[in-house]
Amino acid sequence: MNKAIASASTPPRQIEEELAGPALSPVERRSRVTTLDVLRGFALLGILAVNIETFSGPESIHDIPVGMALPAFVGWHAHLDLVILIIKWAFVEGKMRAMFGMLFGAGVVLLTNRIERRAGAGNAADIYVRRNMWLGLFGLIHGMIIWEGDILLQYALCALLFLYPFRRLPGRTLIGLGMLIWIVGGTFGILNFFDAPHVIAQGDILVSARAAERAGSDLTDEQQTSLTNALEQDRARPASIAAAVSAGRAGFWDGLPARANADIDFVYHVFRDGWIAEVVGCMLVGMGLYHIGFLSGTFTERTYFLTAVIGYLITWPIVLVGIWKTKEAGFSDAAALRWMYSPYDVEQAAGMLANAAAVILIVKAGALRWLTNCLAAAGRMAFSNYVATSLICQSLFSWGPYKMFGSLQYYQELFVVLAIWVFNLLISPLWLRWFAFGPLEWLWRSLTYWERQPFRIGARR
C-alpha cells in the first residue's frame, strides 16, 4: 500500500476491508462511511423543500414566493407563509445544495484514495474520468428531458475541470481555499447572475420616484420612466403569470423544447456569470473536511456542538434581518437582492456547516436511530431518489392528468414534500434489503467500471 496517499481520516479496518476486495469495484456496503450516507439522505430530503417551488408553479424571485399563481402572504395563511419562508431560509435554502456539493467533494477523495490504494493512480484517474463523464450524461438527460433544475451536469463538469488536481492538498488548505472561492467567488457569481447592481439601482430610483410623488415634488425624467415601467409591469403581471402556468402544464412532449432550452441556458449562465464558484468552493471544502475526519465523525461531540451553535448564530440573524427588510419593501426584486442575496453565500456556508455538525452529532449520540437508518438508506440511493423525485413531481404538476402546476398555495406545497419524504424513507430501506444498489446507482457503477455489477444482494459478478 502506498502510505503517502492513504487518507488520515480512513480507519485502518476500513482500509483493510477495501484492500481485501477486487482491485477495481465499487465500495462494498460494509466499508461505507455511515455519516456520509446519513448526511446525503438528509440533504436529499431537504433540497426538495425548496425545489418544490420550481416544480409546483411560477415565481418571479428565486425561492421567494412572489409572482405565484396563488399569492402568498395574504388571507388567513399570511403569517404561516412567512414562518415557512423563514424556516426554509434559516435551515434549507442553499444549505442542502451546498451539502450535496460538500459530499460530492468528499466522494472525490474517498473514491480516488480507495482506487489508488488498490490499483494505483493511473487506474484511479481512469475510473474518475469515466465516472464523471457518465454522470454528466445522466445530468444532461435529466436536465433536458425531465427537469431543468438539474445539478448533476454541473457537478460532473466541476469534477472534470477543477477538482482532481486538488485531491492531495492538506485538509485545512482545501477548507481555506474552498471557503475563499465559495464566499468571494460565489457572492460575485450570484449577484452577477441576477444582474444585482442594475436591479438594485433601478429599485432605488423607483423608491425615490414614489417618495417624490407622495411628497408632490417634481419628478426627474429617470424617475418618471421608472414609474411608467413599474406600472406597465404591474398591468402585464396577471397575463405573464397565466402564460407561465399554461406553459407549466404543457405536458411531457409539448414542454420538452422549453425544458431543454432552459436547462442549457441555466448551466451556461451559471458558468459564464461565475456562480459556479459557489459549487467548486463547496466541493473543495468537502474534500478538506473529509481529509481531516470531520465528515467521518472522528471529532469530539463538543466540536460538532460548537460548530452547529456558531454556524446558526451567523446564519439566523442574516436571514431574519434579510426577510424583515425585504418584506418591508414589499418583496421587491431589488430588496431581495440587497438584503437576502448579497450575504447569501456567507449564511449559506455557515448554515450548511451547522446542519452537517448537528446531524453528525445525532449520529454519534446514537439518537433517533430509526430515522438515521432510513436517512442512510435514502442517501445510499440518492441518485435514484433524486431522479425519481423529479419524475413524481413532474407527473403531478405538469405531465399527468392532475396538471397541478400553479394550483397550490405556498403552504400546501409542503404536503407534497412530506408525502415524497415518506416515500423516500420507506422505500429506500425496503429496496436495499434485496438489492445492493439503487437502480441508477447500479447502472452508473456498471458503466463506470465497464462491468456488470451484482444487483441483488448475494449475487456474484
Tens digits of per-residue pLDDT, 34-76? 999 999 999 999 999 999 999 999 999 999 999 999 999 999 9
Residue 61 backbone dihedrals phi, psi, to 5 degrees: -125, 135
Quote the pLDDT of residue 30.
Answer: 55
Give the pLDDT of residue 1. Answer: 30
Assign 457 a pLDDT band (cuts: 50, 70, 90): confident
Average pLDDT over residues 137-149: 97
Asked if residue 455 is part of any domain, the answer here is no
Q: Is 65 left (phi over 0), alpha (psi -120 to 50) or beta?
A: beta
How far is residue 89's CA from residue 318's CA, in Å, rounded to a whole number?
10
| Residue 155 located in a structural domain | yes
458 belongs to a structural domain: no
Domain carrying residue 89: 3-449
Whole-number percent of the chain with pLDDT over 90: 90
Residue 306 lies in a domain: yes
Residue 396's nearest CA partner among 43, 41, 81, 52 is 52
pLDDT at 122 over 70: yes
C-alpha cell at 166: 486538488
pLDDT band at 118 (very low <50, low <70, confident <90, very high): confident
Average pLDDT over residues 136-145: 98
Q: Three-state DSSP class for 435? A: strand
Q: How confident is the model at residue 32 (pLDDT cuts 50, 70, 90)?
A: confident
Which CA distances in Å does 39 have to 29, 362, 369, 386?
A: 16, 11, 14, 14
pLDDT at residue 15, rounded to an integer: 42
Classify residue 252: in a domain, yes or no. Answer: yes
pLDDT class for 13, splitting at 50, 70, 90?
very low
* Domain count within the chain: 1
pLDDT of 5 reads: 32
- pLDDT tens-digit series, residues 373-401: 999 999 999 999 999 999 999 999 999 99
- By percentage, how much of the chain surpasses pLDDT 70? 92
The alpha helices in 273-394, defined as continuous H runs, are 276-291, 301-328, 333-336, 344-365, 369-380, 382-394
Check residue 2 and report its DSSP letter: -
360/160 Cα distance (integer angstroms): 29
Question: Does the residue 90 lie in any domain?
Answer: yes
For residue 7, pLDDT over 60 is answered with no
3-state DSSP assignment of residue 386: helix
Distance set, CA 66 to CA 72, 74, 88 (Å): 7, 11, 15
- Name beta bridge partners: 61: 64
Residue 78 lies in a domain: yes
- Confidence category of residue 18, pLDDT binned at 50, 70, 90: very low
Domain-located, residue 63: yes
